[in-house]
Amino acid sequence: MIDCDPGHDDAVALILAHAHADVLGVTTVSGNAPLVDTTRNALAVVELLGAKTPVHAGAVKPLEAEPVHAGLVHGANGLGGVELPPPIVSVVSEDAVAFILEETRRVADVWLVPIGPLTNIAMALQRDPDLPRRIAGISLMGGSASEGNVTPAAEFNVWADPEAADLVFRSGALIRMCGLNLTHQLRTSDDLIERLGSLGTPLGDFVGSMFGFLHDRMADLVGERRAALHDPCAVLAVTHPELLEFEPRSVRMELKGEFTRGMTVVDQRTTRRRDEPNVEVAYHIDAERAMRLVMTSIGADD
């Protein structure tokens, strides 16, 4: 089950998940763009794939914080630089939390894969604290065991709703965390854009246009024409966990710091005094094999 806020890399994660997993549903959350945009984008991507996956709209704002968006990177509507036809299908419901709880009662050992702010997952935990005991786990893109991106200390998804992240990380669920320290290892290139354009398919053109937009943005922001594919890493942590290396760590949320709010405080001490682990933190990914999976899911030859 994918909980997302599309978002260019969310769109790639949706494509990858549909190629390699049985996606029970897609839920949307406010994050990279307002909820109305992230929901429309999710519907459009699912439709482009020809999938019948149900889409449920979720939280329009964080648990406590004011809504924030990532227009600087993703454009005002979340998929800047890309024009998709308006989706024909509509959301099944506007209660993503109810869908998450109902579906995890119906199907055993579901993986939740949240790749946006964790608001929907936290609200599901508030409504049903037994949720962690009946799912396989939560594989998320968020946080960092190194630096942040939206601030020096914090990664966007956690920073956008740190109270929600705090609930999720303290829930007792099995959690796999794909943070910036990992996701920056999986990067696009202009060569990939050329390969995608040569496919001559709607999906190849769509992803190639997204990468091109991101490369232009990254050139302006950081001076290089490439972009990290953050969200697909959380999908691969479920579908191809052998590509990643995890270490058990204690991870806590910083909720009050003037300069560190939204930071994932990862206990990386090697002494016996370190805190009890509650998260499997991903530290390395086989980027070459991972990118091959991404490209083949879009239709490129291996």
Catalytic annotation, pick one of 8, 230, 240, 284: 230
Confidence of residue 81 (pLDDT cuts 50, 70, 90): confident
Could you tell me if 284 and 237 are in contact, meaning their C-beta atoms sit under 8 angstroms apart?
no
Q: How far apart are CA 233 and CA 285, in angstroms?
A: 8
Domain with 235, as residue range(s), is 2-298
Active site residue 230: yes
Confidence of residue 275 (pLDDT cuts 50, 70, 90): confident
CATH code (residue 263): 3.90.245.10
Q: How far apart are CA 89 and CA 239, in angstroms?
A: 27
| Host H or E run for residue 56 | strand 55-57
Number of H helices, E strands in the chain: 13, 9
Please, which residues bridge with residue 280 across strands? 176, 248
- Tell me the pLDDT of the chain averaged across its residues: 97
Enter the pTM of the model.
0.97
* Tally of domains within the chain: 1
Instruction: Check pLDDT > 80 for residue 113.
Output: yes
DSSP-based three-state secondary structure for 188? coil
The tokens for 80 are 């800047």
**First CA to last CA distance, the chain:** 27
Amino acid letter, 176: R
